[in-house]
C-alpha cells in the first residue's frame, strides 16, 4: 500500500494527513490505515485526537455493508442493492404520480464532498423535480452566509487564508470554541495572545476563552443570547470615541450613517445591564480592537464569528453587527485584517455552494434568478422552466414532513437528523409520519435506524472527491483503500436511482467527471470553480510541497473563485484574499445594515429560570455517529453531561457526578452534572453529541432566524433539578470513579 495524501474526515479545518499502510499502532486498534499529520499552512502538520483516530471509523464494528429494508415485522433486514433501489424508485414514482413532485424531499449534509452535494442538488431538481431540498448546513452556516451575502455580496467563510490570523495584533472571537472544535487552528492565535489581544465572547469560560487568561486578552462572558449586544456596544464605543475609520467608510461602504445612529442607543452601561459584561470591559475591548486596526497603526485585527453567535433567532443580525464592526474599523479587504465566519462541518463551505440549499443553484447562484436558471439548465440539458423554484429551509421542511400538504418521502444523505436537529423529539415524530424514509449512511445512525430503506455508502478514505475548507481552499480527498464489499458511493446510488426513475444520462459516477460538470455549472457564479479540475488541484498540491518563494499562508491550494481562462492564457491563480479592491456588490461597496437586539425566542420565565446552551466537545463530532464508535474518544467523553456552576449546583443540591433533569418546553433530558466555575450561574451547558434521554437537541427550540432560517440551538429556557432516582436514571459512576477507570485503562 502506497501512502495517500488526503484530509481529515471531520471539521472544516480539513487537516492534511497522510494515510499509509497500517503500522503496529493502527493494527492494535483495528484501523486499516495509519494516519499521520501532513503539512498544510492551516494545520501545520497537527491533528487532534479525532483526526489521529479517524481510521477506526472505517472499521466500525457495526459498519453497514448491505442495504437494509424494513420488513412486515417492523425490523430492518438485509436486501440486495437491486431490491432496495427498485423498492425506493417504485415508491417514489408511486408517490409522485399520486401527490406530485413535491411529495418527495431531500435532506443533504455539509459533510458531503462537493461532487456529492452537486449531484444531490441536481438529482432533486432534474430527476425528482422537487423544490424540497435543504441540508444540515442550515443548522450550521446559514446565518453567516446570509449576513455575508447581504454585506459583501459573497459568502466565503474566511475571505482570507486562515494563516493570515497569525500576523494579527487582535482577534475578536464570538461564539467559537475553536480550541476544542478545531484545535490545530488555535496555533494561529499566538501573536494576538502575545500582544494581549485575544478577545473571546462566550458565556462559558471555554478552552478558547482560557486562551485569553493571564493577560493574553479578555474573556467577555456574556449572558447567553447577547453576543449582538456586545457587538452593538463595541460599535457604539468605536463611534463615540472617534475610533471609526471614516475615510474607509466613505470610500468602501454604504449605510454607515444608519448603523451609527442605531448604536447611539447602545452605550456601554446600557449594554452591561443586558449582556452582563462590565461597561469598562466593553470600552477596553473596543479600544484594543481599534488600536490593532490599520487606521491606528496596528498590526491588524480580525473579527470572527462561530455557531455560538450565529445559531440564534437573531443570528443574521449578529453576523451583520460583527461585519459592521469590522467595516467601522476598516478591516475587510485590508492586508492582515478582516471579518470571517469559522465554518463548522467538513465541507460546510463547499456544501453551501453547489445547490443543496433550498434557494440555490450551483456556483452559489440563486434559484429565483432567471439568468442563473438559464445557465444551469443549459449545463444540465434541461428547459429552465422545468427547474423547480425555491423550496423551504430545513426546519420548515422538517415541520412539513408527513403533514397533509407536506412531503411524504424523504431521502437523507450525510446527516443524523434525530440527534442534530432542534426539538429532536418532534423531528422523530415527523419522520415517523412519512410514507418512506431512505437514509444513506456508513453506520446505523439513530436516523438510519428509523428508515424504511438504509443504503450503505463509502466514507472518506474510500473515495475520491473535493472538499472546500473554511478558508475557501479547494482540497482533494483521495482514496486510500477499497470500500468494504457491498458498499456503494452516493454518486453510484444517484446514478442508479436516476436510471430507474427514467433519467438515463447526466449522473456520472466518476467524481472527477462530476467535478468537471460542477465547474462548468459554477462558471460565472459567485463561487466560480470553472478553472479547477481534479488534475489541476493535484498538480498545485504537488507543487506546494516545495515551499520555495510562495506565500506561506496560501501554499499548496487554490482558493475560489478560480474562473476558467481561455486556452493559451495562464490559468487563474485563485483568490486567496477577497475584497482587496472592491466588494462584489452592485456598486462595489460593502452594505452596512442597522440591526437591533430582541433576545432569544424561548427566554427565561419563572418555571424555566436558567438558560441552556449547547455545543461540542473536542472528542466528538456533530451527532457523534462516527466518533462515538471510536473507543478512545468514547472513553474520554462517554456520556451526556451538563456543566453547572457551583453556585447553581449548590442551590439545586447537586454534587459533581450526580444526575440532573433538565426540562425545556419540549422535553426533559437526563445528564451527569459536571460542576465547574466555567459555566455562568444562570446557564447550563450541554454537548449535543448523544441521542436518548441525554440528547441536548430534544430540549432545544426550533424557532428560526427570519432571514437565514437558522434555528435557535444555542439558547433556550430550562428548569434544572436533581434527578429523582428511579428506573429512568441509570446509575452513572461519580466522576472521580470515572477518572480512576480512565487511568487504569490507559
Applying CB under 8 A, the residues found at the interface with other proteins are: 37, 44-49, 52, 179-180, 183-187, 207, 211, 223, 236, 239-242, 258, 260-262, 264-265, 267, 269-270, 272-279, 281, 396, 399, 594, 598, 601-606, 609-610, 618-619, 632, 636, 647-648, 650-651, 681-682, 702-704, 739, 742-743, 746
Q: At what angle do helices 315-328 and 142-152 cross, to 10 degrees?
A: 40
CA 222/CA 219 separation, integer angstroms: 9
CB of 743 to other proteins, least distance (A): 5
* Residue 475 backbone class (left: φ over 0; alpha: ψ -120 to 50; beta: rest): beta
Beta bridge partners, 288, equal: none
CB of 271 to other proteins, least distance (A): 10
The sign of the torsion formed by the CA atoms of 48, 109, 40, 36 equals positive
Whichever of 81 and 267 has its CB closer to other proteins, that residue is 267
CA distances from 423 to 47, 312, 328, 419, 587 (A): 33, 14, 38, 9, 42
Minimum CB separation of residue 325 from other proteins in Å reads 14
Question: Which is nearest to 216 in space by CA: 235, 236, 238, 189?
Answer: 189
Smallest separation (angstroms) from other proteins to the CB of 556: 19
Q: Which residue, 512 or 647, is less far from other proteins as judged by CB?
A: 647
Q: Could you tell me the smallest distance in angstroms from the CB atom of residue 239 to other proteins? A: 4
Minimal distance, residue 347 CB to other proteins, in Å: 21
Half-sphere exposure of 117 (CA within 13 A, CB side): 34
Q: Minimum CB separation from other proteins for residue 259, in Å?
A: 10
288 or 633: whose CB is closer to other proteins?
633
- Measure Cα distances from 302 to 62, 178, 334 in Å: 44, 15, 10
Q: Shortest approach of other proteins to residue 245 CB, angstroms?
A: 14
Cell of 716: 433556550
Q: Smallest gap, in angstroms, from Cβ of residue 36 to other proteins?
A: 9
Our CB check for other proteins shows the closer of 211 and 415 to be 211
First to last CA, the chain: 31
C-alpha cell at 280: 469598562
Residue 77 or 429 with smaller CB distance to other proteins: 429
Residues 715, 683: Cα–Cα separation, whole Å: 9
d(CA 559, CA 154): 14
SS (H, E, C) 377-427: HHHHCCCHHHCCCCCCCHHHHHHHCCCCCCCCEEEEECCCHHHHCCCHHHH
Whole-number Å distance between alpha carbons of 540 and 557: 6
Beta strand 301-305 with 170-174: parallel, antiparallel or unpaired? parallel
Which residue's CB is nearer to other proteins, number 21 or number 279?
A: 279
Extract the C-alpha cell encoding 298.
Answer: 496596528
Instruction: Give the residue with the Cβ less far from other proteins, 401 or 693.
Output: 401
H/E stretch holding 289 reads helix 279-292
Give min distance, CB of 723 to other proteins, in A: 18
Residue with smaller CB distance to other proteins, 277 or 419: 277
Which residue, 216 or 413, has its beta carbon nearer to other proteins? 216
Phi, psi of 455 (to 5 degrees): -115, 120
From the number of C-beta atoms within 10 Å of its C-beta (0-12, 13-18, 19+), residue 72 rates as exposed
Smaller CB distance to other proteins: residue 372 or 610? 610
- One DSSP character per residue, 173-192 reads EES--HHHHSGGGGGGGHHH
Residue placing its CB nearer to other proteins in the complex, 89 or 210:
210
Distance in Å, CB of 240 to other proteins, minimum: 4
Amino acid at each position: 500500500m502506497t501512502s495517500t495524501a488526503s484530509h481529515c474526515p471531520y471539521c472544516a479545518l480539513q487537516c492534511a494527513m497522510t494515510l499509509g499502510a497500517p503500522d503496529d499502532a493502527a493494527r492494535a486498534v483495528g484501523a486499516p490505515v495509519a494516519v499521520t499529520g501532513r503539512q498544510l499552512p492551516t494545520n501545520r502538520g497537527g491533528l487532534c485526537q479525532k483526526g489521529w483516530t479517524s481510521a477506526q471509523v472505517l472499521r466500525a464494528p457495526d459498519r453497514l455493508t448491505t442495504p437494509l429494508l424494513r420488513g412486515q415485522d417492523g425490523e430492518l433486514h438485509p436486501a440486495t442493492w437491486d431490491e432496495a433501489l427498485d423498492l425506493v424508485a417504485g415508491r417514489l414514482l408511486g408517490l409522485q404520480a399520486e401527490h406530485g413532485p413535491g411529495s418527495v424531499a431531500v435532506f443533504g449534509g455539509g459533510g458531503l464532498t462537493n461532487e456529492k452535494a452537486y449531484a444531490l442538488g441536481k438529482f432533486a431538481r432534474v430527476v425528482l423535480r422537487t423544490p424540497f431540498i435543504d441540508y444540515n448546513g442550515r443548522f450550521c452556516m446559514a446565518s453567516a452566509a446570509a449576513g455575508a451575502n447581504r454585506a459583501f455580496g459573497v459568502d466565503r467563510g474566511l475571505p482570507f487564508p486562515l494563516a493570515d490570523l497569525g500576523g494579527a495584533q487582535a482577534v475578536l472571537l464570538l461564539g467559537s470554541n475553536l480550541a476544542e472544535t478545531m484545535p490545530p487552528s488555535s496555533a494561529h492565535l499566538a501573536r494576538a495572545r502575545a500582544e494581549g489581544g485575544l478577545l473571546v465572547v462566550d458565556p462559558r469560560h471555554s478552552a478558547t476563552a482560557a486562551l485569553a487568561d493571564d493577560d493574553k486578552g479578555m474573556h467577555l462572558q456574556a449572558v447567553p443570547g447577547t453576543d449582538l449586544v456586545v457587538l452593538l456596544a463595541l460599535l457604539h464605543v468605536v463611534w463615540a470615541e472617534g475610533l471609526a475609520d471614516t475615510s474607509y467608510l466613505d470610500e468602501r461602504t454604504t449605510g454607515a450613517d444608519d448603523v451609527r445612529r442605531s448604536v447611539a442607543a447602545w452605550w456601554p452601561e446600557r449594554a452591561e445591564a443586558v449582556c452582563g459584561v462590565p461597561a469598562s470591559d466593553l470600552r477596553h475591548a473596543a479600544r484594543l480592537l481599534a488600536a490593532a486596526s490599520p487606521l491606528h497603526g496596528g498590526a491588524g485585527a480580525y473579527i470572527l464569528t462561530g455557531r455560538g453567535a450565529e445559531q440564534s433567532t437573531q443570528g443574521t443580525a449578529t453576523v451583520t453587527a460583527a461585519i459592521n464592526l469590522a467595516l467601522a474599523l476598516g478591516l475587510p479587504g485590508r492586508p492582515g485584517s478582516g471579518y470571517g465566519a469559522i465554518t463548522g462541518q467538513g465541507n460546510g463551505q463547499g456544501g453551501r455552494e453547489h445547490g443543496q440549499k433550498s434557494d440555490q443553484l450551483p456556483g452559489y447562484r440563486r434559484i429565483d434568478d432567471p439568468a442563473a436558471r438559464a445557465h444551469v439548465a443549459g449545463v444540465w440539458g434541461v428547459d429552465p422552466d422545468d427547474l423547480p423554484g425555491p423550496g423551504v429551509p430545513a426546519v420548515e421542511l422538517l415541520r412539513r414532513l408527513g403533514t397533509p400538504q407536506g412531503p411524504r418521502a424523504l431521502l437523507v444523505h450525510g446527516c443524523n437528523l434525530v440527534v442534530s436537529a432542534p426539538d429532536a423529539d418532534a423531528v422523530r415524530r415527523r419522520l415517523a409520519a412519512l410514507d418512506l424514509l431512505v437514509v444513506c449512511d456508513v453506520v446505523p445512525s439513530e436516523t438510519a435506524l428509523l428508515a424504511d430503506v438504509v443504503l450503505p455508502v463509502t466514507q472518506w478514505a474510500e473515495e475520491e472527491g473535493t472538499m472546500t475548507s473554511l478558508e475557501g481552499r479547494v482540497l482533494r480527498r483521495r482514496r486510500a483503500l477499497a470500500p468494504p464489499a457491498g458498499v456503494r458511493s452516493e454518486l453510484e446510488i444517484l446514478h442508479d436511482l436516476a436510471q430507474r426513475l427514467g433519467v438515463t444520462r447526466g449522473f456520472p459516477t466518476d467524481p472527477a467527471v462530476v467535478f468537471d460538470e460542477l465547474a462548468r455549472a459554477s462558471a460565472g457564479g459567485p463561487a466560480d470553480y470553472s478553472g479547477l479540475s481534479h488534475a489541476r488541484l493535484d498538480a498545485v498540491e504537488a507543487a506546494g510541497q516545495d515551499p520555495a518563494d510562495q506565500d506561506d499562508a496560501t501554499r499548496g491550494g487554490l482558493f475560489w473563485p478560480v474562473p476558467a481562462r481561455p486556452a493559451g492564457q495562464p490559468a487563474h491563480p485563485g483568490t486567496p484574499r477577497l475584497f482587496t479592491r472592491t466588494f462584489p456588490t452592485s456598486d462595489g461597496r460593502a452594505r452596512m445594515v442597522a440591526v437591533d437586539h430582541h433576545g432569544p425566542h424561548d427566554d427565561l420565565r419563572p418555571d424555566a429560570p436558567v438558560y441552556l446552551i449547547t455545543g461540542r466537545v473536542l472528542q466528538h463530532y456533530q451527532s457523534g455517529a462516527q466518533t462515538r464508535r471510536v473507543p478512545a474518544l468514547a472513553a474520554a467523553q462517554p456520556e451526556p453531561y451538563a456543566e453547572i456552576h457551583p453556585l447553581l449546583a449548590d442551590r439545586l443540591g447537586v454534587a459533581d457526578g450526580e444526575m440532573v433533569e433538565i426540562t425545556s418546553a419540549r422535553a426533559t433530558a437526563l445528564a451527569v452534572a459536571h460542576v465547574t466555575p466555567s459555566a455562568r450561574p444562570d446557564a447550563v451547558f450541554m454537548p449535543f453529541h448523544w441521542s436518548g434521554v441525554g440528547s441536548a437537541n430534544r430540549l432545544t427550540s426550533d424557532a428560526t432566524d427570519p432571514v437565514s432560517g437558522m434555528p435557535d440551538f444555542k439558547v433556550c429556557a430550562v428548569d434544572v433539578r436533581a434527578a429523582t432516582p428511579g428506573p429512568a436514571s441509570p446509575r452513572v459512576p461519580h466522576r472521580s470513579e470515572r477518572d480512576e477507570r480512565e487511568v487504569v485503562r490507559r
